[in-house]
Amino acid sequence: MDLGLAEDHFSRPMGSFVASDIEQLKLAIEECKKLILELPEHSERQKDTVVKLIHLRLKLQELKDPEEDEPNLRILLEHRFSKEKSKSVKQTCDKCSTIIWGLIQTWYTCTGCYYRCHSKCMNMITKPCVRSKVSHQSEYELSICPEIGLDRQDYRCAECRTPISLRGVPSEARQCDYTGQYYCMTCHWNDTAIVPARVIHNWEFEPRKVCRSSMRYLALMISRPVLKLKEINPLLFNFVEELVEIRKLRQDILLMKPYFITCKEAMEARLLLQLQDRQHFVENDDMYSLQDLIDISSGRLSCSLTEIHTTFAKHIKLDCERCQAKGFVCELCKEGDILFPFDSHTSVCHECSAVFHRDCYYDNSTTCPRCARMTERKQDDDVKDA
């Protein structure tokens, strides 16, 4: 058969070969592959034949998936698919696991979970959008690789129910370290991710193999503060010094917050916005995101948070007269500089929030002077009312 190696199959071919016929294209591709094997290796003719084989395959794909007027937005199983305009970026379809040829194929990306697929594969999608799970159920699996066994899965993929086995017949069974379940090669591409359970229980950050849906879920959850370490694994603070340091910095920042929300200069300078990427740091001191723990392990969070802490303390103690005026004098020794609750050498009364030198407060066996004063005043008021 004449392969028409001098022809351009992106235009209508001339001669004995009619490229518009899909069966003839398939036959031409097979003949072309045989010819490549027969020709001298690295010869110019072999190289030209390889190029022509690529053209033939692209033409065949174009005929199988013709360009249509596809809608720009499609909603399916809570996915919000947006039509992609990029023609040059090489992607892989999450449904069929084949390459997306952006030059000749229409493809979509979910704006929620970044699921990518051919237009022709959309009607075969069975997995709902992972972002909906994040919105409705923002929590992690906190058991390390909770395997139930392939037999409990009926030797089928946990997601698409394709028959699988550990021997690879008919399809290889791949375990997801996050869910503990087994998946087929279409649903598990051997992607890796840091698994929250291993971080919390073992302080281990080595990426593990996870299925596609787990990879997307972990990527969407990574910045969400859903881990309450002191309840999940309080002993972690005994073994990881960096966690203790970060907890102290966060506690100090919470003590600084009331100064800023009542200070005009601080509000104008938008000081608290320095923590806008970790909003939970100005709301509580016990919730962590997985990204927080990753940054603590690398030392990145300690550096950035210490710098912010220094900036905040400088505003309150040196730069702003209004904030300075809200400081305390130790009523037990009545000596020393103005004290603030976030100072390292101070103690705070849990009842009235008065601030004292740490040595004075712990050495003095009497009650807090401010609390005693407030109690006496309340008793006087009660007597007057009587």
Gap between the Cα atoms of 229 and 227, Å rounded:
6
Same domain for 237 and 313? yes
**Single-letter residue type at 165:** S
Residues 127-165: pLDDT tens digits? 888 887 787 777 899 999 999 899 999 999 998 889 999
Angle at 205 between CA 204 and CA 209, to 5 degrees: 105
Answer whether residue 55 shows pLDDT above 80.
Answer: no
Q: Token pair of 297, please?
A: 């392990």
Residues 6+ apart with CB under 8 A from 66: none
Residues 158-217: pLDDT tens digits? 988 899 998 877 889 999 999 999 999 989 999 999 999 999 999 999 999 999 999 999
Q: Provide the mean pLDDT of the chain.
A: 85
Gap between the Cα atoms of 39 and 44, Å rounded:
10
pLDDT at 88: 66
Same domain for 314 and 240? yes
Q: Would residue 97 count as lying in a domain? A: yes
Domain boundary among the residues 222, 252, 274 is at: 222
Gap between the Cα atoms of 210 and 158, Å rounded:
13
**pLDDT band with cut points at 50, 70 and 90 for residue 4:** very low
SS3 93: coil
Same domain for 288 and 256? yes
Q: What range defines the domain where residue 49 resides?
A: 26-64
SS3 185: coil
Same domain for 280 and 321? yes
Same domain for 229 and 305? yes
Domain boundary among the residues 222, 241, 257 is at: 222
Burial class of 333 by CB neighbour count within 10 A (0 to 12, 13 to 18, 19+): middle
**pLDDT band with cut points at 50, 70 and 90 for residue 122:** confident
| CATH number of the structural domain spanning residue 108 | 3.30.60.20
DSSP state of 282: G
Q: How many domains does the chain have?
A: 5
Burial class of 56 by CB neighbour count within 10 A (0 to 12, 13 to 18, 19+): buried
Same domain for 104 and 55? no
Same domain for 315 and 241? yes
Q: Would residue 10 count as lying in a domain? A: no
Gap between the Cα atoms of 181 and 204, Å rounded:
21
Q: Token pair of 52, please?
A: 């022509």
Same domain for 175 and 241? no
Same domain for 229 and 301? yes
| CATH number of the structural domain spanning residue 158 | 3.30.40.10
